Chains A and B, each alone.
Chain A
Amino acid sequence: MAWDWQMFCEDTLDRTVREGCFGTDGDITYLDWMLSAWGWTVSVSLLALVLALAAGVVIGTIRTLPDSKWAVRFGNAWVEVFRNIPLLVQIFLWYHVVPAIFPAMKSVSGFVLVVLALGFFTSARIAEQVRSGIQALPRGQRYAGMAVGFTTWQTYRHVLLPNAFRIIIPPLTSETMNIFKNSSVAFAVSVTELTMFAMQAQEETGRGIEIYLAVTGLYIVSAFAINRIMTFIEKRVRVPGLTAPSAAGGH
């Protein structure tokens, strides 16, 4: 087995090795292509993460609201729908089925649809974590908020959510890393991200092992970077004595 890493420096049209490994004048090398594919992977993942966090926090919170039967039902339905359908199937629903029902969606690019699909899929999982985080808090905290005359909004804003978020940061870290890995399904709707690059470039160059190793490396770097960021946040927001419910002792 001979390694051939030089293929990354080859031009994607005529496959001649380029000086300095980067293409010029609009020509691109496989290395250029891989870096741009990495950019797409990171963009899809980060945008989907923003959407997933926003939707997940809202849905997860309304599932714990007292005295709002319909809001809770809506939240439950949201989670079950997006959690119970395989991600790839959801992508196809967004790409092929939704535009068939709403013709206006036809002009929406695959990129946006993947962000929606991946974001909503992950929002269901984050909603579950937010809900469990809130429900893991001792009931006394909610009562304490009520006792000092807080409205429901104030109770959540100042008492429940700050505590719940601190509890759920570890599982949330896994979820943010999962988004990077799940973003590989975007290749199915023609987003030129890392997985599509790998499948296409290995066919063109016949150097599948080098390409998959390089792509794997980039996935690891991306997922690990987000892991470090989340760990940093976890450390920064830690309140001594309140890190985990178990450490805090039962009330």
Chain B
Amino acid sequence: MKKHLLAIAITALAATSTMAQTGDTLAKIKSSGSITLGVRESSGLAYTLGNGKYVGFHTEMAENIVQDLQKELGLSKLNVKYQPVTSQNRIPLVVNGTVDLECGSTTNDLNRQKEVDFANTTYVEQVRIAVKADSDINDVKDLDGKTVATTTGTTSVQLLRQNKRAAGIKFKDINGKDHADSFLLLETGRADAFVMDASILAGNISKSKNPKDFKIVGEPLSTEPIACMLRKNDPAFMKAVNDSIARQVQDGTLEKLWDKWFLQPIPPTNTSVGLPLSDATREAWNNPNNKPKEAYNE
């Protein structure tokens, strides 16, 4: 794994230094007749069913955006390529031109804005606490003296560290290598709580053997805007993407997608995530903006 990531890093390094960014993604799409979407393989918002099939709320929204782009560019045929990305390689792949538009579960924050641009926020994530149904943990302060699980390579690890300091409490944190692993830590009792994005918690609980054994508690520890990511300094492409998002909000497409992916049973297990549209997300839809995470948590 380590070697794999390094290889990606070096490739990205080589690519960024040798290839000057074209800066005009619309022209690139038009001349090549194809667009490359960055998709996630196992996130609550975008995942794979195997065999090169990518689905999910944000994946389907991205496909709608592509259709609108095709209309706008007047192309009779637009070839869509799917490039699976991970938390580690998504930014280098957008920067070096491999991926044109990444709609997965990328948080818009100031740090990343130095390297990429974000479209308007289409999903607002809240970091919350999942515990066993019979647990006496109701809030962050109840975590004192407990063992808390979270997933390596997520902002939640840092968030926990900050909360520990701010609230003056002590707990042991253990890190799962992915969300399924972290949830297993909670399920097997190695951890008393699992702190993560609410959609991921809800998804893992709905897929567990006994969803009634778990509950999500407490005020959100943090609120994070999730948005599609695109190359920096490309206002024409940014406008086209944002126009499509606005269109999807106005004619109710996005709300239908929400219903489809978060309230109805979804493949592969045909269980429902059961996550109603939050006020924060609706707020972002009605007032299009690409404010970073920092603007939400002041």
Main SS class of interface, B: helix
> A182-193 CB contact bits vs B (8 Å, 1 = yes)?
001001101010
Out of A12, A96, A215, which one reaches B184, CB within 8 Å?
A96
Stretch at the interface among B45-53, B121-129, B157-165: B157-165
Known contacts: A199-B88, A209-B12. The answer to whether A187 contacts B152 by CB under 8 A is yes
Residues of chain B within 8 A of A221, CB atoms compared: none
Does residue B175 face the partner (Cβ distance < 8 Å to A)? yes
List the B residue with the shortest CB-CB distance to A185: B1
| Minimum C-beta distance from A229 to chain B (A) | 23
Stretch at the interface among B2-10, B133-141, B248-256: B2-10
Contact B87 A190 (CB under 8 A): no
List the A residue with the shortest CB-CB distance to B176: A190
Does residue A145 face the partner (Cβ distance < 8 Å to B)? no
Residues of chain A within 8 A of B1, CB atoms compared: 184, 195
Stretch at the interface among A49-57, A169-177, A200-208, A243-251: A200-208
Q: Count chain A CB atoms within 10 A of each CB in B2, B88, B91, B190 and give the residue with the most.
A: B2
User: Could you tell me the distance between the alpha carbons of A106 and B174 in the complex, rounded to whole angstroms?
Assistant: 14
> B85-105 CB contact bits vs A (8 Å, 1 = yes)?
001100110000000000000
Residues of chain A within 8 A of B114, CB atoms compared: 206
Residues of chain B within 8 A of A213, CB atoms compared: 9
Interface size class of B (residues with CB under 8 A): 35 or more
> A210-228 CB contact bits vs B (8 Å, 1 = yes)?
0011011001000000000
Contact B153 A1 (CB under 8 A): no
Does residue B111 face the partner (Cβ distance < 8 Å to A)? yes
User: Could you tell me the distance between the alpha carbons of A12 and B165 in the complex, rounded to whole angstroms?
Assistant: 12
Out of A190, A205, A208, which one reaches B88, CB within 8 Å?
A208
Contact B155 A204 (CB under 8 A): yes
Known contacts: A12-B158, A13-B162. The answer to whether A206 contacts B91 by CB under 8 A is yes
| Minimum C-beta distance from B177 to chain A (A) | 4
Residues of chain B within 8 A of A206, CB atoms compared: 91, 111-112, 114-115
List the B residue with the shortest CB-CB distance to A184: B2
Contact B165 A13 (CB under 8 A): yes
Residues of chain A within 8 A of B91, CB atoms compared: 206, 208
Does residue A198 face the partner (Cβ distance < 8 Å to B)? yes
Out of A100, A110, A198, A203, which one reaches B188, CB within 8 Å?
A100
User: Could you tell me the distance between the alpha carbons of A187 and B5 in the complex, rounded to whole angstroms?
Assistant: 15
Does residue B83 face the partner (Cβ distance < 8 Å to A)? no
Out of A195, A200, A208, A215, which one reaches B92, CB within 8 Å?
A208
Q: List 6 A-B contacts (CB under 8 A).
A: A188-B181, A198-B2, A206-B111, A208-B88, A209-B13, A216-B6
Task: Give 5 A-B pairs besides A184-B2, A199-B153 with Cβ atoms closer than 8 angstroms.
Answer: A99-B188, A100-B188, A203-B157, A212-B6, A219-B2
Interface residues of B (CB under 8 A from A): 1-2, 5-6, 9, 12-13, 16-17, 87-88, 91-92, 111-112, 114-115, 152-155, 157-158, 161-162, 165, 174-177, 181, 184, 188-190
Interface residues of A (CB under 8 A from B): 1, 12-13, 96, 99-100, 106, 110, 181, 184, 187-188, 190, 192, 195-196, 198-200, 202-206, 208-209, 212-213, 215-216, 219
Minimum-distance CB pairs A-B, first 8: A190-B174, A199-B153, A188-B177, A206-B111, A190-B175, A1-B16, A212-B9, A203-B153
